[in-house]
Amino acid sequence: MAIQFPIYLDHNSTTPMDPRVLEEMTPFFLNDFGNASSRNHAFGWAAEKGVDNARAQVASLIGASPKEIVWTSGATESNNLAIKGAAEMYASKGKHLISAIHEHKAVLDPIKRLQKQGYEVTWLEPGEDGIITAEQVQDAIRDDTVLVSLMWANNELGTINQIPEIGAVCKSKDVLLHTDATQWVGKMPTDVEAAGVDLLSATGHKFYGPKGCGFLYVRRRRPRVRLTALIDGGGHERGMRSGTLNVPGIVGVGAAAALCEAEMSDDAIRLGKLKKKLEDGITAKLDMAVINGHPTERLPHTTNISFPYVEGESLMMAIKEIAVSSGSACTSASLEPSYVLKALGLGDELAHSSIRFGMGRITTEEEIDYTIDKVVTNVQKLLDLSPLWEMVQEGIDINTVEWGAH
C-alpha cells in the first residue's frame, strides 16, 4: 500500500476526527440547530435529546452515570474547574493539595495559582520510570488535605500512574481524587467507580472527536462532590458551568466515545504491536537510543525515545515528512529541555534529544517501517555532525557543560 505523506505520529497532541463522528454531528449544525436549553419547542427538544444521548455515551465509556457528566470546552477547562472548584468549595476543611511535578501545564498552572492564594502544595516527584505510586500519596496526605490531582497517563511518556491504588488511599483518608485522564480515556478501559476517582477530566479531540469540547466527571454519591463554579450565568450543567452548550461538539464527543468503547481494545492490541516494532527497529540499529519511562506501564500507542548527542529539533527537521513532537520546547530565546523528562532525572543531553511518537487509528505498518528507516538513517547522519558526540569521543563529560540562553 502506498504511504500518504506526511505521516502523522503525533496522536498525543490531537487525533484526526473519525468521519463517522462528523456524520453524527452534521444534522446538529444544519437542521437540529436549536439551543439545548430552549424547552418550549421542537428545535430545543431535538438539541437536548442529542446532548442527553452524548452524556449517556460518555458516561458509559468511563463507568459513570450520565448525570455525573459536565460539558466543558475541553480538558484544560475541566482541570481548572475540578481543581479550583474543589479547592474553594472545601477550603474550610483544609488548604493542602497534592500533585506531581511532571503533570500537564493545565494542572500545574491552576495549582500554582492556588498556591499564590495561600494553599499549600506537596509536589510529588516520579522515580526514573516516571510513575507516581500509591505509597507516595499515602505518605503525603495530611489531615488538612482536600484534593489529590494526578494524571492517569503522562502526555509525553505514556507512563501510567497507579490511579486505582491511589483512589483506594484517597477513599481511606476521605480525600478527593482528581485525575487528568486526557491521554487515557478512549484508549484504555476506564471505570471511575472501581478506581475510586471523584473528578475526571477528558476532551474529545484526543479520542477522534472534535476540538473545543470536553467533559468533567463529577461524582454524585459516596461522596457527593460539590464544586464552586468558575463561570457564572444561566446555571447550565447543574450550576457548575454556565453557557449555551456546544451541541454539535457534544454530539461529536458522544459519538467518538461510543466508537472508542466498541473498538479500543482491538486498537490497543494493534498499536501495542506497532509500538514494539518501532522501538525494537530503532534500538536494534541505534544502540545509544534510550526508551524513556517505565518499560511496560505505558500506553500502547505512545513511546518517547532519546537519541543522545543528537538535538531533538535537528532530528525533527531531518524527518519533517513525519509529524512527531520533540521533548524540548524550543523558543527563539532559549532551548529548555522537557520538564517532564528532567523530572525523571534525565540529564540535559538526553532531555534535549527526545522524540515522542504517538500512533493511532490511521497508523499503518508501512508507516512504521518507513519511520524506523528514516529515523535510523538521520540519527546516524546527525551523530557524524554532532559536536556533542565528538566531545564524548574525546572523553569530555557532557554533564559538566552549562546550557544557557543564547
DSSP structure class, residue 298: B
Phi, psi of 42 (to 5 degrees): -60, -30
Is residue 71 within 8 Å of residue 241, measured between CB atoms?
yes
**What pLDDT is attached to residue 326?**
83
**What pLDDT is attached to residue 386?**
77
| Burial (CB count <10 Å: 0-12, 13-18, 19+), residue 312 | buried
**What pLDDT is attached to residue 235?**
93
User: Which parts of the chain sit beneath pLDDT 50?
Assistant: 330-333
Which cell numbers in the block locate residue 314?
A: 535537528
Q: In angstroms, rounded to a whole number, what is the distance separating the alpha carbons of residues 57 and 185?
A: 13
**What pLDDT is attached to residue 333?**
44
CATH topology of domain 7-11+264-388: Aspartate Aminotransferase, domain 1 (3.90.1150)
**What pLDDT is attached to residue 156?**
95
**What pLDDT is attached to residue 329?**
52
Q: In angstroms, rounded to a whole number, what is the distance separating the alpha carbons of residues 7 and 4?
A: 7
| Burial (CB count <10 Å: 0-12, 13-18, 19+), residue 210 | buried
Same fold, 7-11+264-388 and 19-260: no
Q: In angstroms, rounded to a whole number, what is the distance separating the alpha carbons of residues 276 and 258?
A: 27
CATH topology of domain 19-260: Aspartate Aminotransferase; domain 2 (3.40.640)
260 catalytically annotated: no
Q: In angstroms, rounded to a whole number, what is the distance separating the alpha carbons of residues 254 and 245?
A: 14
Domain ranges of the chain: 7-11+264-388, 19-260
C-alpha distance from residue 14 to each of 3, 94, 104, 320 (Å): 21, 37, 15, 18
Rg (CA), the chain: 22
Tens of pLDDT, residues 228-284? 999 999 999 999 999 999 999 999 999 999 999 999 999 999 999 999 999 999 999
Q: In angstroms, rounded to a whole number, what is the distance separating the alpha carbons of residues 72 and 250?
A: 9
Is residue 30 within 8 Å of residue 220, measured between CB atoms?
no
**What pLDDT is attached to residue 8?**
98
Q: In angstroms, rounded to a whole number, what is the distance separating the alpha carbons of residues 134 and 221?
A: 23
